[in-house]
């Protein structure tokens, strides 16, 4: 069962018009939120990012923040979702033909639930990456929001899968580190923990922000900087953060093995221990 606009419907009956601008232009926003023991992980920053994007794009959500949370709870409960992902999709809706958003005044809200395995503190997932040929624009103002215009990421992920990798590393038009198609990037160098600066073109993530806030409590410095791909190859370790899995190590980039920094194990343990404090709903 999914929530579409104002009611719960069976997924097979959840239809939107062919004139919906999300379908035609990717004129929409979305958020993917982890569900852990039936509750939402980092819900507040996820919803805040969605609403910031809606304000910036001039999309008026058809529900208040409190109502969206209640909708999310209803979808989780109706589907008896204990562990999985909740996806919020906010489209500008239908309007006259053409790029202009004028006349598109009836936004579409879709909330869906997707089961997935429980996060396991004993697991140490590790991904291999390849560098994509796709380049992200630096300083892109839309990078601050999770828009539905994701064709570059689809293309980059297909490149990674064709080369047998888990994900693709995305650089910007200056050849600087940005993100992967599904995650934010971190690495350890001689100064401590590093992550790409926002102006490099990456979407700033909710789990990424949590790691940045945790670092000082662990005695680590954490810098946002503009750095070349070679920074990863020279690092003592690299990892990714994403809502679906939390913290994931990077074991290889473009066929070159990367070392495992023992601080990564500490970080993943801290994330799992902090989960009860990060839950809403």
pLDDT in tens, 223-247: 999 999 999 999 999 999 999 999 9
Across all residues in the chain, what is the average pLDDT?
Answer: 96
Confidence of residue 79 (pLDDT cuts 50, 70, 90): very high
The pLDDT of 180-184, averaged and rounded, is 98
For the stretch 168-193, what's the b/e string if a residue is b when 16 or more beta carbons lie within 10 angstroms of its beta carbon? bbbbbeeebbbbbbbbbbbbbbeeeb
| Res 120: pLDDT | 86
Confidence of residue 123 (pLDDT cuts 50, 70, 90): confident
Establish how many alpha carbons lie within 13 A of residue 73's alpha carbon, considering only the half-sphere containing its beta carbon: 9
Q: Are 206 and 49 in contact (CB under 8 A)?
A: yes
Handedness of CA 110, 111, 113, 119 (dihedral sign): positive
Q: Does domain 126-280 have CATH number 3.20.10.10?
A: yes
Question: What is the rounded distance in angstroms from the CA atom of residue 111 to the CA atom of residue 209?
Answer: 24
The pLDDT of 110-116, averaged and rounded, is 97
- Same fold for the pair 2-115 and 126-280: no
Q: How many percent of the chain have pLDDT more than 70? A: 100
How is the chain split into domains, by residue range? Answer: 2-115, 126-280
Confidence of residue 44 (pLDDT cuts 50, 70, 90): very high
User: Beta strand pairing status for 222-225 and 192-196?
Assistant: parallel
| Res 258: pLDDT | 98
| Res 124: pLDDT | 83
Decide if pLDDT at 278 tops 80.
Answer: yes
| Res 122: pLDDT | 78
| Res 83: pLDDT | 97
Q: Are 75 and 112 in contact (CB under 8 A)?
A: yes
Specify the CATH number of the domain 2-115.
Answer: 3.30.470.10
Candidates 241, 230, 259, 253; CA nearest to 168 is 253
């Amino acid at each position: 069962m999914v929530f579409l606009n104002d009611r719960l419907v069976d997924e097979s009956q959840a239809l939107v018009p062919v004139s919906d601008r999300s379908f035609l232009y990717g004129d929409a926003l979305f958020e993917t939120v982890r569900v852990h023991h039936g509750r939402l992980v980092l819900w507040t920053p996820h919803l805040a990012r969605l609403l910031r994007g809606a304000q910036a794009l001039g999309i008026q959500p058809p529900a208040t923040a409190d109502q969206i949370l209640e909708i999310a709870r209803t979808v989780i409960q109706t589907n008896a979702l204990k562990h999985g992902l909740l996806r919020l999709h906010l489209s500008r809706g239908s309007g006259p033909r053409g790029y202009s958003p004028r006349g598109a005044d009836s936004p579409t809200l879709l909330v869906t639930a997707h089961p997935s395995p429980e996060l396991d503190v004993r697991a140490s997932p590790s991904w291999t990456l390849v560098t994509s040929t796709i380049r992200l624009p630096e300083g892109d103002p839309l990078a601050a929001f999770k828009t539905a215009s994701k064709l570059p990421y689809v293309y980059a992920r297909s490149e990674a899968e064709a080369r047998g990798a888990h994900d693709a590393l995305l650089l910007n038009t200056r050849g600087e580190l940005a993100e992967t198609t599904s995650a934010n990037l971190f690495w350890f160098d001689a100064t401590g923990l590093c992550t790409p600066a926002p102006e490099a073109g990456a979407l700033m993530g909710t789990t990424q922000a949590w790691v940045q806030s945790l670092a000082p409590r662990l005695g680590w410095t954490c810098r946002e900087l503009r750095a070349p791909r070679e920074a990863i190859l020279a690092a003592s370790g690299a990892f990714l953060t994403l809502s679906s899995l939390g913290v994931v190590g990077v074991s290889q980039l473009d066929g070159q093995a990367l070392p495992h920094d023992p601080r990564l194990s500490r970080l993943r343990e801290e994330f799992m221990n902090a989960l009860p404090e990060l839950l809403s709903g």
